[in-house]
Amino acid sequence: MTAGARHDGPLPALFLALAFTTGMLDATSFLDLGSVFVAAMTGNVVILGLGLAGYGASLSPAVSLACFAAGAGCAGLLARSALRPVHRGLRFAAGIAVQGVLVGVVAAVTTRHGFAGPWPRDAVVGGLAFSLGWQYATVRGLRVSDVNTTVVTTTLTSLFAESVAPARQGRRLLSICALLAGACSSGLLRRAVDPTAPLWTATALIAACVVAALAASVRRDSLRWR
């Protein structure tokens, strides 16, 4: 085990699990919510620009951008105030539990109402985007290097442009692979089970991450990565 891994405890592995769920949620939004993203905000900026020029709709990407920003702002405000002195494992668990509740609510809404129609579609886009903005601000505040749960462009650039230790490069590569695997799994679940299956699966995985973080935080060796 590397020194960096000891310093961060289980957080890098938990971040990779979150990256997997991010891939699932973004794939679901793209396939079922009208070619809009809930995590890849760069794509939404491009889609919004095309919509404003008359090529496609502009409401959904605008909703996603606004809600992602709101989620990030709210999580950042909480992290800077009440949660700053708290152990990183507990901060992770508290923040990601909120995301899990949001994704679970969205899964329940889509199970009942489906993805069709502007009301459920835009509400689902907003809920998922808020949850992922919240997630990303939460994990950024925990300061784990080289593991990104949403942004591939920065990670890909760092992977090939910087010369760092193999362990750090491995983290970067794994985060990209986790996003890819999540998107692929989402498509397979959608085809084999139901369009809402990726949402429920992501909810379960997020809940498992919360439980794992809580369990790790109460271990005697947790002081090494607080």
Is 103 a member of any domain? yes
Q: What is the DSSP letter of 83?
A: T
Are 28 and 190 contacting, i.e. CB atoms less than 8 angstroms apart? yes
Is 147 a member of any domain? yes
CATH code for the domain in which residue 24 is found: 1.20.1250
Range of the domain at 124: 9-225
Angle value at C-alpha 155, between 62 and 195, nearest 5 degrees: 50
Q: How many domains does the chain have?
A: 1
The tens-digit pLDDT sequence of the chain (226 residues) is: 444 444 888 999 999 999 999 999 999 999 999 889 999 999 999 999 999 998 988 889 999 999 999 999 999 988 777 666 778 899 999 999 999 999 999 999 999 988 876 678 889 999 999 999 999 999 998 888 888 898 888 888 888 888 778 888 888 899 999 999 999 999 999 999 999 999 999 999 999 999 999 999 988 888 888 7
The Cα 124–Cα 107 span in angstroms is 9
CA distances from 24 to 75, 182, 208 (A): 22, 5, 16
